[in-house]
Amino acid sequence: MRTPSAKTVLWDVDGTLLLNSAKAGTFYHDAIREVAGVGPVPGEPHAVEHGKTDGQIISERLTRWGGDPALFDAVSRRMDELSDAYLTDAARRRAAPGVDAALHAVAEAGWANGLLTGNSRHRARVKLEGAGLDVDAFDWERSYFGDRYLRRSDLTAAARDDLAGASALILGDTPADGEAADAVGFPFIAVATGVYSAEELRRTSAVLVMQDLEHGLPALLDSLRTL
């Protein structure tokens, strides 16, 4: 049974626990094309989507490409089905440096390892398993998923409401993670294993910016003790 007073680190997945994949955009393209029959036009500039929820990306792409918004749920379900390929083909993700040790150390420090990700629960689990991470290292009751949220701040608000009275912080790799943390008063810790540099992340409200979890683990544990 969940202990209401438990302290929770809410980990982002893509760019934080796992290194980003160049095939991620194609994954959305395939699901939307198969379900809605629409896709990007030749020469369309690539939209910056790092830090957005799956729900926001699907909704914006359907709108931009002229797809039926009513197909949102069907597209999301198809993405879950397609995500199973992450376990078997070259699109599987790789864990970021130092992740296993960091998860163990955070738990040893008395914090639960939760997730706060733009992915669905199924997609997050498939990605983590495909990268060889132990999914049982995470508290899935203290984890929050963005496949139905059009704004990351709304996802974070749901986590805040669910964790009322408990200590929580967000650990992510994008300024959007920091903005979502700011919106609900959670501390933000940043790691520069995604597309944003440590210098860019220092312009956020982050109480700590790490180059990666391998070298930043001592500083992370110091911050957890302070928080």
Q: Which residues pair with 114 in a beta bridge?
A: 10
Q: Please give the pLDDT value at position 87.
A: 67
Q: Which residue shows structure tokens 């094309």?
A: 33
Tokens of 86: 């992450």
User: Where does 18-138 show beta strands of DSSP type E?
Assistant: 111-117
Rounded distance between C-alpha atoms, residue 170 and residue 184, angstroms: 11
Compute mean pLDDT per 10 residues along the chain, 227 residues long, and list them. Answer: 71 95 76 92 78 90 94 94 77 91 97 95 93 95 94 93 92 95 96 96 98 98 94
Residues in Cβ contact with 85 at an 8 Å cutoff, skipping those fewer than 6 apart: 91
Q: What are phi and psi of 102, to 5 degrees?
A: -65, -45
Residues in Cβ contact with 172 at an 8 Å cutoff, skipping those fewer than 6 apart: 11, 12, 15, 16, 51, 116, 178, 181, 188, 189, 190, 191
Q: Please give the pLDDT value at position 90.
A: 67
The string of pLDDT tens digits covering residues 126-167 is 999 999 999 999 999 999 999 999 999 999 999 999 998 889
Q: Please give the pLDDT value at position 23.
A: 66
Closest CA to 193 of 171, 215, 174, 212: 212
Q: What is the pTM of this model?
A: 0.90
Rounded distance between C-alpha atoms, residue 18 and residue 161, angstroms: 27
The string of pLDDT tens digits covering residues 45-54 is 777 788 889 9
Give the end-to-end CA distance of the chain in Å, rounded to a whole number: 24
Q: Please give the pLDDT value at position 227.
A: 85
